[in-house]
Structure 1
Amino acid sequence: MTTNKPVKKAVFPVAGLGTRFLPATKAIPKEMLAVVDRPLIQYAVDEAREAGIEQMIFVTGRGKTAIVEHFDIAYELEATMAARGKALDAIDCARATPGNIITVRQQVPLGLGHAIWCARAIVGNEPFAIFLPDELMVAHPGSTGCMKQMVEAYGEVGGNLISVLEVPRDEVSSYGVIAPGREVAESLTEVTGLVEKPPVADAPSNKIISGRYILQPEVMRVLEGQGKGAGGEIQLTDAMARMIGSQPFHAVTFQGRRYDCGSKLGFVEATLALALERPDMGAEVRAMAARLLA
């Protein structure tokens, strides 16, 4: 059985073109766009590390080398800062343990399901996490990150888990939505079905899939023979839906906030929200915002 194996690997699908942020993303990966002073991909990797994940698998495309370089040693920069007596904390947090960053290529943009399938050889026969870096998940004060909450739930029920958030009913057609079953515990619910971007009238709930997953390796076999779904792409939601009933499937309602940094408005909101919470700049940002709104 694979359900008792610890989650030590995570897949980050980062091959997208980032067309909604052009021209900024013409030469810079969208995952390297900074919210305040940290790239989106760094927030996701930090969340993974907090959850005890050791191996980061980046599914990349052309022009994405900056993502890997971000986690490399920057000898000249580090030596210069050290010589000037400047703290290296801001750089150290972006340094990976040798061998813990692995990249594979998604050569053709065939959707999220296909991107995950591209990592099958590295995932092997182990459970693994998935992070969509566009979705910045910020825990409530005093709480743990989204993936750590999921790993703790995984320890209780095993199988497959997805992170969900509740949204207004009229917004569900923009997301993947779960059909909820029995409530196992507070914030932990059985999943009986998944629907990708349903019409509002047909949505089984207002609980949307929010960019964090723990899946068993059998999903790779499902993706192997899966045809194209919504949007002419190989959808991960379709593969997960086919696994319901054959393996345990649960949803963890995240105790925190989600920012859709795949949209310009969501990106600006995340930048402002996180800047306001920073002890080194929050007061100044609040005063600046008050001036701009006056």
Structure 2
Amino acid sequence: MMMKRVRKAVFPVGGLGTRFLPATKAMPKEMLPIVDRPLIQYAVDEAREAGIEQIIFVTGRGKSAIEDHFDIAYELESTMASRGKSLEILEETRLAPGSVAYVRQQEPMGLGHAVWCARDIVGDEPFAVLLADDFMVGKPGCLKQMMGAYERTGGNIICAQEVPEDQTHLYGIITPGARDGALTEVKGLVEKPRPGTAPSNLCVIGRYILQPEVMRVLERQEKGAGGEIQLTDAMAGMIGGQPFHGLTFAGRRFDCGDKAGYIHANMALAAEREDIGASVRAFGAELFGK
């Protein structure tokens, strides 16, 4: 059977962002900037680099800023144009007509529930899922690397990363099978195992390529860790029925759902910028005495 191409990507952006209050009281956490671009922009650019054609945002109340960001800002653009300023900086924020869809998750019932909310738009196709606060930096991008693996193996591909043993209880953890370079066969998945019970230290990071059958599992609305509908549990239910692999990302991940990780991402990217990097590095040396 011919492997279906991955054309659609789901972005669950309905979370409350409570760890960044009060900054996120009136602004979605996905709109927090890394230097001068919001987190969600980096994730969308990563998806488009990987060949994604349709962007599906699963939103919640108070997320209209995301819709506005990817819309045409007539007043802003008109004012900039009248002053002779280039609009090139805004080009990446414009999504082609018909290439973006929004669906509302009315209740925060977990990542699995958010993905399930997009079922009618996804249809009977494989699809990607990207979590914007897992900020992935690499060339090529994380999802493009995963697409390369998908073309080899088909089935389901999840992004994997090794974490310290004392952090395994914070993640979905892979029970590993055979390894082939950066690819690891997934024999099982467990969401946030109790300390000392994890089957490995290989955790699941917020990038997925999934077959549509996962929606059939999610529609059972079975609750897992934290009383929420977990995507990890649904994926575990598919293991054995079709190929399932984890790809270790060749790049760097910043956990921007964490305050320290968010600051680290800003520091790292600012230091590498051609326009401000020298100033940022000099200030860092002065600040930290290096």
TM-score strictly above 0.5? yes
* Correspondence 1:181 to 2:177: yes
Q: Give unmatched runs, 5+ long, in structure 2.
A: none
Q: Give unmatched runs, 5+ long, in structure 1.
A: none
Q: Is the 8 A contact 2:168 2:201 kept in 1?
A: yes
Q: Is the 8 A contact 1:226 1:239 kept in 2?
A: no
What are the equivalent positions in structure 2 for 1:37-56 lying under 5 Å apart?
A: 37-56=36-55
The correspondence for 1:263, drawn from 241, 254, 258, is 258
Shift of the alpha carbon at 1:167? 1.6
Shift of the alpha carbon at 1:89? 2.0
Count of aligned residue pairs for this structure pair: 289
What are the equivalent positions in structure 2 for 1:1-294 lying under 5 Å apart?
A: 4-139=3-138, 143-183=139-179, 185-294=180-289
The DSSP-based 3-state class of the residue aligned with 1:93 is helix
The DSSP-based 3-state class of the residue aligned with 1:234 is coil
Shift of the alpha carbon at 1:267? 0.6
- Rounded to whole Å, the distance in 2 between the matches of 1:227 and 1:250 is 24
Q: Is the 8 A contact 1:275 1:282 kept in 2?
A: yes
Shift of the alpha carbon at 1:172? 1.3
Q: Is the 8 A contact 2:28 2:63 kept in 1?
A: yes
CA deviations 1:246-280 (Å, max 9, x no partner) are: 11100110001111101111110100011011111
| Aligned amino acid, residue 228 of structure 1 | K
- Rounded to whole Å, the distance in 2 between the matches of 1:204 and 1:254 is 20
Over the aligned positions, Cα root-mean-square deviation in angstroms equals 1.1
CA deviations 1:16-66 (Å, max 9, x no partner) are: 011111111111111011010000000000000000001000000011011
- Rounded to whole Å, the distance in 2 between the matches of 1:137 and 1:255 is 10
- Rounded to whole Å, the distance in 2 between the matches of 1:131 and 1:68 is 17
| Aligned amino acid, residue 223 of structure 2 | K
The DSSP-based 3-state class of the residue aligned with 1:108 is coil
- Rounded to whole Å, the distance in 1 between the matches of 2:225 and 2:280 is 42
| Aligned amino acid, residue 282 of structure 1 | G
- Rounded to whole Å, the distance in 1 between the matches of 2:160 and 2:245 is 10
Moved more, 96-105 or 86-95: 86-95
Q: Is the 8 A contact 1:111 1:235 kept in 2?
A: yes
The DSSP-based 3-state class of the residue aligned with 1:198 is coil
TM-score (norm 1): 0.96
| Aligned amino acid, residue 179 of structure 1 | T
The DSSP-based 3-state class of the residue aligned with 1:220 is helix
Shift of the alpha carbon at 1:200? 3.9
Structure 1 runs (4+) deviating above 3 angstroms are none
Q: Is the 8 A contact 2:113 2:221 kept in 1?
A: no
| Aligned amino acid, residue 274 of structure 1 | L
- Rounded to whole Å, the distance in 2 between the matches of 1:5 and 1:88 is 37
Shift of the alpha carbon at 1:199? 2.9
Shift of the alpha carbon at 1:84? 2.0
The DSSP-based 3-state class of the residue aligned with 1:156 is helix
Shift of the alpha carbon at 1:83? 2.2
The DSSP-based 3-state class of the residue aligned with 2:147 is helix
The DSSP-based 3-state class of the residue aligned with 1:209 is strand
| Aligned amino acid, residue 167 of structure 2 | E
Question: % of aligned pairs identical?
Answer: 67
| Aligned amino acid, residue 173 of structure 1 | H
| Aligned amino acid, residue 273 of structure 2 | R
- Rounded to whole Å, the distance in 2 between the matches of 1:167 and 1:224 is 31
- Rounded to whole Å, the distance in 1 between the matches of 2:192 and 2:165 is 12
The DSSP-based 3-state class of the residue aligned with 1:78 is helix
Shift of the alpha carbon at 1:171? 1.7
- Rounded to whole Å, the distance in 2 between the matches of 1:200 and 1:90 is 47
